[in-house]
Amino acid sequence: MDDLYREIIIEHYKNPLHKGRIENSDYTFEDENPLCGDHLQIELRVNADQKVVDAKFDGQGCAISISAADLLLDSIIGKSIEDLKALSKKDILDLLGIELSPVRLKCALLSLKVLKAAVYELQEADDDLIQK
């Protein structure tokens, strides 16, 4: 089963569906993984009902961080901003579907941290965001 998830991770790393930028995005935030300096920017466009109609990321990172960002953004299309505030660490781990070391966990959770800071419209991200 792990092999299937690994293939999915590699596919999203090589051919991400949500890599790019959104002009005039409604929500945006950028932050880095303090352990490696890799950084990620996430931009969202929402409709009048505050539901996500487009989501993009840009930046650089390892296969786990890029795949997690792509899988996460794919999973939030059509969700409300309130739904995004309720996302947790478990949601990312379920999307990735593999066991991760503590260092790799930081990679996996970077996009969730950035996304949450964007939707809470924070100036600074906080690791506690991903537990919420």
Q: Which stretch binds ligand FES (CB under 6 A): 30-38, 75-83, 92-100, 118-126?
A: 30-38
Under the binding rule (CB under 6 A), the answer on residue 30 touching ligand FES is no
Q: Give the residue closest to ligand FES by C-beta.
A: 107
Minimum CB distance to ligand FES smaller for 76 or for 109: 109
By CB under 6 A, the residues from 72 to 101 that bind ligand FES are none
CA angle 99, 8, 78 (to 5 degrees): 100
Under the binding rule (CB under 6 A), the answer on residue 65 touching ligand FES is yes
